[in-house]
Amino acid sequence: MLLDTYGRVATDLRVSLTDRCNLRCVYCMPEEGLQWLAKPDLLTDDEIVRLIRIAVTLLGVTEVRFTGGEPLLRPGLVSIVERSARLSPRPRMSLTTNGIGLKRTAGALRAAGLDRINVSLDTLRPEVFQRLTRRDRHQDVLDGLRAARDAGLTPVKVNAVLMPGLNDDEAPELLAWALAEGYELRFIEQMPLDAQHGWKREGMITAGDILHTLRARFTLTPEGGEERGSSPAERWLVDGGPHRVGVIGSVTRPFCAACDRTRLTADGQVRTCLFAQDETDLRAALRSDAPDEEIAGMWQAAMRGKKAGSGLDDPSFLQPSRPMSAIGG
């Protein structure tokens, strides 16, 4: 198993398939984009599937989330999902995407074995979407969401980040829309993972701000009946249920004490946390023909070095040198 020194066991693997993205969101990267990883530095499809197999069969991972960058840009995505679905025990599999291209691929992903999907959408206003993402693709995302729902990739979760002066007034509107469409909305606090290192705590839209705004229109009741556990989202029943909304306060309401995640970057590095400064290189071991057991041991050793928390409240906190697109969300 992937046990750290604080007694946490990682059973949730986040796999970044590419650092590339077809949007340029203001809270992620500069308008001109970034220097992408060279193709030889990326894990091959076979290498990704092998590491997932090691994680599932030797290390106790039960859930795999495919991320990016934008994972739909990975040519071998459907095959990777299909091969991972054949593992025994079979992991639960999900994908986080910006939704562009999902209209075309949702059916194939479902047929390959993908269980559900998360789609990032921060606004219902096309002009605000263009300002946030620097691309005119709002309708493509809406079409992708419907395609995912129709393909059975449910529950379809929508991730929204609120930014001051851009979409900070849209929380109630977004929730009303998600309820009508049958999506589960989750608001996420902006995190210090932008390539520009421009994040500032001051002025950030917090979980408390979001809940205050939502309560002006909806009755929110803490969801009962199950422990939050390792789930990053605090979930609330809306107007008595059954619909619910989630709020992920990664900065102001951290969930580090129950974290069950391990992360694999597109170039084969293990990260113990989104905000970690250190990585462990599994790609080199793969390409030197190391046996599965040796790679599993390296992974276990990396996880024993996991810190107690993200360190965001420490005055000495340093933002990771690699941006969200390289790390995987």
25 is in an annotated binding site: yes
154 is in an annotated binding site: no
65 is in an annotated binding site: yes
> For residues 158 and 185, is the Cβ–Cβ distance under 8 A?
yes
Can you tell me the distance from the alpha carbon of 304 to that of 306, in angstroms, rounded to the nearest whole number?
6
14 is in an annotated binding site: yes
67 is in an annotated binding site: no
306 is in an annotated binding site: no
Can you tell me the distance from the alpha carbon of 220 to that of 216, in angstroms, rounded to the nearest whole number?
10
Which of 15, 12, 76, 91 has its CA nearest to residue 46? Answer: 76
Which of 83, 93, 69 has its CA nearest to residue 12? Answer: 93
265 is in an annotated binding site: no
Pairing relationship of beta strands 184-188 and 156-160 according to DSSP bridges: parallel
107 is in an annotated binding site: no
134 is in an annotated binding site: no
What is the token pair recorded at 43? 């894990």
137 is in an annotated binding site: no
> For residues 53 and 289, is the Cβ–Cβ distance under 8 A?
no
157 is in an annotated binding site: yes
27 is in an annotated binding site: yes
228 is in an annotated binding site: no
60 is in an annotated binding site: no
Read out DSSP for 174-198?
Answer: HHHHHHHHT-EEEEE---S--TT--
DSSP H or E run through 47: helix 45-58
Cis peptide before 155 (omega within 30 of 0): yes
144 is in an annotated binding site: no
201 is in an annotated binding site: no
Residue 294, Cβ neighbours under 10 Å: how many? 12
120 is in an annotated binding site: yes
Exposure string (b/e) for 64-99, b if CB count within 10 Å is 16 or more? bbbbbbbbbbbeebbebbbbbbebeeebebbbbbbb
Helices 102-112 and 77-85 pack at an angle, to 10 degrees, of 20
Which residues line the annotated binding site? 14, 21, 25, 27-28, 65, 69, 96, 120, 157, 191, 256, 259, 261-263, 273
Which residues line the annotated binding site for GTP? 14, 65, 96, 157, 261-263
Which residues line the annotated binding site for [4Fe-4S] cluster? 21, 25, 28, 256, 259, 273
Which residues line the annotated binding site for S-adenosyl-L-methionine? 27, 69, 120, 191
